[in-house]
Amino acid sequence: MIANARRLDGKQQSTIRAMTERCVAVGGINLGQGLSRTPPPASLLDTGAAHFKTADHSYSLAQGDPALRKAIARKLTAYNGIDIDPDDGIVATIGASGAYNAVLLAYLNPGDGILLPEPFYGYHRAAAELYGVMPEPIGLTAPEFRLTKQALEASASERTRAIVLCTPNNPSGRRLTADEITAVAQFAEERDLLVITDEIYEYIYYTPGRHLSPAAFTPLTHRTITISGLSKTYSIPGWRIGYAAGPGHLIQPVRTAADILSVCAPTPLQQLAVDALELPEAFYTGMRDQYRTQRDRVASAFRSAGLEPNHPEGAYYLLIDCSSLRVQDGFEAAEAILTTAGVATIPGEAFHHNKPPYTYVRACFAVSQEDISRTEKQLATADFSTLMGTGATI
């Protein structure tokens, strides 16, 4: 028998994919996968269709199409407050995932430690482990999951080389505050750490105040690589356009790693993506309004069924507190919600290295209008009374 490499052991099927399969088997509504069902902006598809024939269909430079890098640099200055040289400070990649992989390959050796504040996006851990990098989870206190210098100190070790931030966070929706970023800056300076910040949900938030990019904080600028992409903001995850950005000296090895990994991001789609970055402000406010409405509808559907959701500041997920259900863990909670209400969610365990601080599941509300209406109906008639125990809620 030809065995798979050991690095894949335990990685064949993620919790999210397993839940999707269970959902299909029972004909449920899938709020599990973080897959937006929002249609892409119509104008983007129209201009894309017009430009596709004349686009370049060859390889682009490894660092990406010059027009795309210029558009990203303009956006980084105007929106994120970060000055980046489009020539040597940006690499266009196969999604934000491609950027994260290239950064790991460029900077982390097997056996190095990488700090992951919990809850984290499972891919951040899985990809690190693939390269032999040791996850160092930072257990934060629910429900706020506030990142402090003490928490950083408690989780770091002699191996620690980098920290991964994610703001707004998948799954908690938390937006990092200036105080939290300052704590990271002090700690990263003391330990000489690389800061990797995944800001793929940067335009999706519901609380006042502009998006804060860690790299815009001067003490962090020289040691931070900002990762983002177009998948979430413009609902085009299949285009696979993302990027890593930072000071030229940090980006050069990332460019080499991305080149070896995948040569370049899809050239014609890089060129079409420039139009997305030039959409007017009204697009972003409209998108936020739509997701806010969806968040509130799905949240009240769970609440009326006796399950308390959090109130996310950003991204498009709800954490549903299941401490009131007589279940052992998030896996049992997700199964109970699927069998009782026909709604698939993801166990909280998918976002923690160790046991989550309370029993919860994650529900994605960037689903179709039809699925939102079905979720409301099915949760309104679901009877959780036999499952309700005496467990304390947080």
Ligand X SMILES: Cc1ncc(COP(=O)(O)O)c(C=O)c1O
Residues at the contact surface with ligand X, assessed by CB under 6 A = 34, 95-97, 121, 166, 170, 198, 200, 229, 231, 237, 242
- Taking the least distance from each CB to ligand X, the nearer of 234 and 384 is 234
Of 232 and 255, the one with the shorter C-beta distance to ligand X is 232
Q: How far is the CB of 128 from ligand X (least distance, A)?
A: 13
Long-range contacts of 125-128 (CB under 8 A, 24+ apart): 125/353, 126/11, 126/14, 127/97, 127/100, 127/101, 128/104
To ligand X, the closest distance from the beta carbon of 15 in angstroms equals 14
Of the two residues 156 and 200, which places its CB atom closer to ligand X in the complex?
200
**Closer residue to ligand X in complex, CB, 245/341:** 245
Closer CB to ligand X, 365 or 384, in the complex: 365
Angle between helices 267-277 and 42-52 (to 10 degrees): 140
Contact indicator for 336, 387 with CB cutoff of 8 Å: yes
369: Cβ contacts below 8 Å, ≥ 6 apart: none
Scanning 108-172, the segments in alpha helix (DSSP H) are 122-130, 149-155
Which of 59, 367, 76, 91 minimizes the C-alpha distance to 235? 367
How do strand 346-347 and strand 113-117 relate by DSSP bridges?
Answer: unpaired
CB of 383 to ligand X, least distance (A): 32
Shortest Cβ distance from residue 184 to ligand X (Å)? Answer: 17
We find the least distance from the C-beta atom of residue 124 to ligand X, in angstroms, to be: 7
C-alpha 263 chain-centroid distance: 24
- As measured in angstroms, the least distance from the Cβ of 275 to ligand X is 18
Residue from 315, 326, 382, 381 nearest 359 by CA: 326
The Cα 61–Cα 58 span in angstroms is: 10
Taking the least distance from each CB to ligand X, the nearer of 197 and 221 is 197
